Amino acid sequence: MTQLNQLQELMRTLRFVETSNHLTELIKQAEQNDHSYTRFLLDIMQYEQKRREEKQVEKRLKWATFPDYKTLEEFDIKEQQSLSKKQLNQLGDLTWIDQLYNLVLLGPPGVGKTHLAIGLGIKAIYEGYKVIFTSMGDLVHALKTEEITRKSKTSLKRMRDADLVIIDDLMFMAMDQQEANLFFHLI
């Protein structure tokens, strides 16, 4: 076994999997640029940290279950007269999450409430928050079947652990007394 193979195997054992897979390229760069040992080690550690952060974002995006990928930058503020650029920027600061404020977006269909909610959720993920997106119908179904199905149990656990829960179409579903009790107990 070569030293490179030994090093890659050791990196995998230490859970530096991403760097292990990219090691030959990192070595080549260091040799071409005449990097010091310290610079080379710094490059390795920075590469691993960057890849871990990217993997965390990918994981949180997957868990969020957004129906689409829509960013705040894509939101057309000119189409929405009841929201100013300043208000959009304030929402984008995400301070309301840390202050534990609830945010309710109201308006008729087609004005961009879901786009705005997804954009805020995606921004929150890139800022390190755990986010879950669900429709009211899916949420009520999960609440009603939590004791029966593993999928519902997992979904609700993630929701309870999330920093931001986005419930789409909250007002468009009629609920009976039991469903309302389950929903308000979750909240």
Express each pLDDT in 146-171 by its tens digit: 788 898 888 888 988 999 999 887 66
State whether residue 158 is helix, strand or coil.
helix
Structural domains counted in the chain: 2
Nearest Cα residue to 124 out of 88, 97, 158: 97
CATH at residue 129: 3.40.50.300
Residue 61 domain-assigned (yes or no)? no
41 lies in the same domain as 89: no
Q: How far is CA 173 from the centre of its chain?
A: 26
pLDDT in tens, 137-149: 888 888 888 788 8
Residue 65 domain-assigned (yes or no)? no
What is the rounded distance in angstroms from the CA atom of residue 158 to the CA atom of residue 151? 11
pLDDT in tens, 21-79: 999 999 999 999 999 999 999 999 999 999 999 999 999 999 999 999 999 999 888 87
Between 185 and 40, residue with greater pLDDT: 40
Confidence of residue 172 (pLDDT cuts 50, 70, 90): low
Task: Note the pTM of the prediction, 2 decimals.
Answer: 0.79
Contact 60/128 with Cβ under 8 angstroms?
A: no
109 lies in the same domain as 171: yes
State whether residue 132 is helix, strand or coil.
strand
Residue 21 domain-assigned (yes or no)? yes
Residue 152 domain-assigned (yes or no)? yes
81 lies in the same domain as 16: no
25 lies in the same domain as 86: no
Residue 62 domain-assigned (yes or no)? no
Between 82 and 185, residue with greater pLDDT: 82
47 lies in the same domain as 81: no
Contact 110/43 with Cβ under 8 angstroms?
A: no
80 lies in the same domain as 149: yes
Residue 64 domain-assigned (yes or no)? no
175 lies in the same domain as 109: yes
What pLDDT is recorded for position 140? 83
Find the domain containing 37 and state its range.
Answer: 3-56
103 lies in the same domain as 50: no
Residue 66 domain-assigned (yes or no)? no
Q: Which of 13-22, 34-43, 101-110 has the lowest mean pLDDT?
A: 101-110
49 lies in the same domain as 80: no
Please check the confidence at residue 173 and state whether its pLDDT lies above 70: no
Please check the confidence at residue 174 and state whether its pLDDT lies above 90: no
Close Cβ partners of 106 (under 8 Å, ≥ 6 residues apart): 113, 171
